[in-house]
Structure 1
Amino acid sequence: METNRRITRSGVLLRVLILAAFTVTITAQKPAPEVFTLTVPNGPILTRLNASVTLPCELSPIFNVEPLEVRWYRSENSNRPALLYKDHKIQEAPVDPRYRGRVSLTGGLERGNVSLTLERVTVEDRGEYVCHVSNERWYEKANVYLSMNVTGSAPVLSVASGGGGQVNVTCSSEGWSPQPKLTWRNKEETEIKNEQVLFTSDSQGLLSVSSWLLYPPSDSDWLSCTISLSEEEKRESRVLPHKPGAWKEAFIVTLVLSLLLLSALSTVVCILLKHRDQMKREQSKSGTENSLEKQPVKEGKNLQDWHQVKGFKENITMDENTAHGTIRVTQDGKTAQYIKEKETMKSSDQRHPHVLANQSFRSEQHYWEVKVRDETVDKAVGDCG
């Protein structure tokens, strides 16, 4: 009895499984409807720069879309789609090269979902897209708008003269999408109502915003200008609304004082440099006088007054090889003595009596004195420098 019950249960379970399999087969082989519609969002799809975004598009009724053609393109360029699915695969041509490698169908074609996923979104990707699905007898299309939040530059604040004792404060920024909100606040964070706001668009469709207001000048009550897309996406700058004239006067006074100080410092430096040069000259003259005392050398017809030259500083010696034939230099090179001309003196040595030192001067200014002494009197010949 128990065995018969088990057989009966097994038979029932088997019939249920067969029926379910048959039902699935019939459903899968159900032909695609000749007429269908597309379902897309009513409002724009919002994304951020460099993010990934999905543009939804589904068929109704739900059926397998793999045998159909799916085309996503910009509304202004249907001949160069962002993505083309045809013959059971994604085609590489003709497609817009700007989207190559960045687009895919991620919804599940077997479930009637032909949603487009776009990677690494750029500013140029903003705008209207068309979801287009077609078979041999029917096609349908729907539009999806892609919007993007782009945070612009930090506000630039400037202060200019205004009327009635007030100043004109200006706030400007650029590179926003979509249109941002601009808010003025004082130091107490109280919002200042102002309707003077202007928006302009650049070649990429990004917005520039500017605003201005008249405000009493102050050295402590700062103003803030905030431009925002949301609480998380905003920029703020602050300024003290000084009178432009006060800043100008302060700058001029500071500049004049700086120039006067620079002139005074230059004068002091020049005086010190002149004093230093004078001290060097005096020290050089004094050192030379103390270091050199030379016996007189008399030229021409007064050769008889030559007798002895001596008194050089210890580090200066005479070179015997350069001495005139009438000059004799001692072994230590410190003394030179006049002697009578020799009859055998070479005719080529008829120059004035002279002798050179072993040392020489290469630069700067030097001073020395020459004295000539005969046996009775000292004669000052002069000085050289």
Structure 2
Amino acid sequence: MFTTVGNRGTMHLGLCLRVLILAALTVPIRAAQPAQETFTLTVPDGPTSTLSGSSVSLLCQVSPLFNVEPLEVRWYRSSNFHSLALLYKYHKIQEAPVDPQYSGRVSLTGGMERGNVSLTLERVTLEDKGEYVCQVTSKQWYEKASVFLTVNVTGSEPVLSVAEARGGGGQVNVTCSSAGWSPQPKLIWTNKEGTEIRNGQEVLNTSDPQGLVSVSSWLLYAPSYSDWLACTVSLSEEVKRESRILPLIYTAPTAVPGVYKEAYILILVLLVLSPVIICALCSVILWKRRGSMWSSSRKSRNSSDQTELGQRPTETKNLIEGAENTVKTLTRQRAAGKGGNLKAETNNSIEGAETTVKTPTEYIAFDWHQVKGFKG
């Protein structure tokens, strides 16, 4: 009897233990199962903006939070499901079939164990702008959401120019132009007080094949003596370019009142006459230089003549002494009976002397009668 009762108690106790073990194993699984079966994705409401050449994160978060490492994550352009920017599968990022445009530039850096599947894109270019789709897939469920990326490109410095307006009336036509912007920028005119000018302006935007925008604007303006204008082209308060101009500097004489008109005419006259003045100065300088050279040459010639004239008396004296010696020799020969024409030979010697001592301007007077011992 006791044996029967003991067996029944043992059976009831074993059954209770089995129920408790099953309950303990079943409750945690049922609590965790809904997070893996269904989920949603959280993305930014508006577009994500970045500058060309920088890095950007396209945010995408799984809700409720759980570890998504065992799941599949796809990032792709909305226009083409098969053109993948990134594919995460089998616990790693796949090399193919990713678009080569994104090779080496994308990663998942949010922390997948916390349910963050945000895409980080480096070295952003203008071609990267557009809509991206974040898709997370499990064995039972998948969800996707879109993130729009805008790439800001800062354009060139605005170029300003001024021309007289048609019909005159003291107004000028001020032009502002800038190119190479993305997306379409905002252009405003302001005066020196910083007040925006809205009247009398027109704005034109054009795009090139690369999607970059050029902006131009024209403004009719009546300048005063000290007013300047500013043209500002901007994408935001942080991304903008500005140029300024003083219209009075560039306007025609008819559009400039008072002293500015007279100053403009004076400058114009000086510009016209400056070539004539320069030519006259060059002529004076050349004339003075030539006169100086001629004077130096004349002094050199006079010095040479004076030197030569200083040497002539010595030469003449030597010739006279030679002639005297010749006369003495001829006289002795005559006395010895070797006759000869003493006067003729002496004349020949003197003519040679006269030829030798000839100066550049005249012949030195030479009297052969001064030769000692000569008798005609």
Fold-level match, TM-score > 0.5?
yes
Task: Report the CA distance shift for 1:133/1:274 in structure 2 as closer, same or farther (over 3 A).
Answer: same
Task: Report the CA distance shift for 1:376/1:258 in structure 2 as closer, same or farther (over 3 A).
Answer: closer
Q: Give runs of aligned pairs for residues 278-317 of structure 1, distance below 5 A.
A: 278-292=294-308, 310=315
Tell me how far 1:260 sits from its aligned partner: 1.9
Residue of structure 1 in register with 2:287 after alignment: 271
Amino acid in the other structure paired with 2:47: P
Task: Report the CA distance shift for 1:257/1:90 in structure 2 as closer, same or farther (over 3 A).
Answer: same
| Cα distance in structure 1, aligned partners of 2:217 and 2:173 | 10
Tell me how far 1:26 sits from its aligned partner: 4.4
Q: 1:57 aligns with which of 49, 60, 74?
A: 60
Task: Report the CA distance shift for 1:28/1:252 in structure 2 as closer, same or farther (over 3 A).
Answer: farther
**How high is the sequence identity, in percent, across the aligned residues?**
58
Residue of structure 2 in register with 1:349 after alignment: none
Residue of structure 2 in register with 1:232 after alignment: 238
Amino acid in the other structure paired with 1:64: N
Q: 1:199 aligns with which of 199, 205, 216?
A: 205
Tell me how far 1:199 sits from its aligned partner: 1.6
Aligned length: 298
**Structure richer in helix, relative to its length:** 2
Task: Report the CA distance shift for 1:241/1:295 in structure 2 as closer, same or farther (over 3 A).
Answer: closer
Q: 2:187 aligns with which of 176, 182, 190?
A: 182
Q: 2:251 aligns with which of 244, 257, 262?
A: 244
Contact residue 219 and residue 240 of structure 1 kept, 8 A: no
| Cα distance in structure 1, aligned partners of 2:315 and 2:99 | 105
Task: Report the CA distance shift for 1:137/1:383 in structure 2 as closer, same or farther (over 3 A).
Answer: farther
Task: Report the CA distance shift for 1:259/1:26 in structure 2 as closer, same or farther (over 3 A).
Answer: same
Tell me how far 1:144 sits from its aligned partner: 0.7
TM-score normalised to structure 2 length? 0.67
Contact residue 184 and residue 225 of structure 1 kept, 8 A: yes
Q: Per-residue CA shift, 1:229-263, capped at 9, x if unaligned?
A: 33333222111223632398666423213212211
| Cα distance in structure 2, aligned partners of 1:234 and 1:85 | 39
1:222 aligns with 2:243: no
Q: Give runs of aligned pairs for residues 149-188 of structure 1, distance below 5 A.
A: 149-164=152-167, 165=169, 166-188=171-193
Contact residue 309 and residue 359 of structure 2 kept, 8 A: no
Contact residue 62 and residue 111 of structure 1 kept, 8 A: yes
More moved, 85-94 vs 52-61 = 52-61
Q: Per-residue CA shift, 1:159-209, capped at 9, x if unaligned?
A: 112134211111111222333322212233332114511222233323222
Amino acid in the other structure paired with 2:242: E
TM-score normalised to structure 1 length? 0.65
Unaligned runs of 5+ in 2: 1-23, 254-260, 327-347, 362-376
| Cα distance in structure 2, aligned partners of 1:110 and 1:377 | 130
Structure showing greater Rg: 2
Contact residue 162 and residue 168 of structure 1 kept, 8 A: yes
| Cα distance in structure 1, aligned partners of 2:28 and 2:286 | 107
Tell me how far 1:131 sits from its aligned partner: 1.3
Task: Report the CA distance shift for 1:199/1:94 in structure 2 as closer, same or farther (over 3 A).
Answer: same
Contact residue 63 and residue 110 of structure 1 kept, 8 A: yes
Contact residue 135 and residue 143 of structure 2 kept, 8 A: yes
Residue of structure 2 in register with 1:317 after alignment: none
Tell me how far 1:79 sits from its aligned partner: 3.4
| Cα distance in structure 2, aligned partners of 1:150 and 1:278 | 71
| Cα distance in structure 2, aligned partners of 1:28 and 1:103 | 35
Q: What secondary structure, in the 3-state scheme, does the structure 2 residue paired with 1:196 have?
A: strand
| Cα distance in structure 1, aligned partners of 2:86 and 2:187 | 39
Residue of structure 1 in register with 2:368 after alignment: none
Contact residue 67 and residue 113 of structure 2 kept, 8 A: yes
Tell me how far 1:145 sits from its aligned partner: 0.5
Tell me how far 1:156 sits from its aligned partner: 1.1
| Cα distance in structure 2, aligned partners of 1:273 and 1:116 | 81
Residue of structure 2 in register with 1:256 after alignment: 272
Q: Per-residue CA shift, 1:25-74, capped at 9, x if unaligned?
A: 74897487455443322210122333332111123444432222212122
Contact residue 180 and residue 213 of structure 2 kept, 8 A: yes
Q: Per-residue CA shift, 1:344-385, capped at 9, x if unaligned?
A: xxxxxxxxxxxxxxxxxxxxxxxxxxxx9738963465759x
**Structure richer in strand, relative to its length:** 1
Q: Give runs of aligned pairs for residues 326-345 of structure 1, distance below 5 A.
A: none
Q: What secondary structure, in the 3-state scheme, does the structure 2 residue paired with 1:157 have?
A: strand
Amino acid in the other structure paired with 1:240: L
Residue of structure 1 in register with 2:132 after alignment: 129
| Cα distance in structure 2, aligned partners of 1:85 and 1:295 | 115
Contact residue 219 and residue 241 of structure 1 kept, 8 A: no
Q: Per-residue CA shift, 1:99-158, capped at 9, x if unaligned?
A: 333321122222332111123333332222121233456543322111233332221111
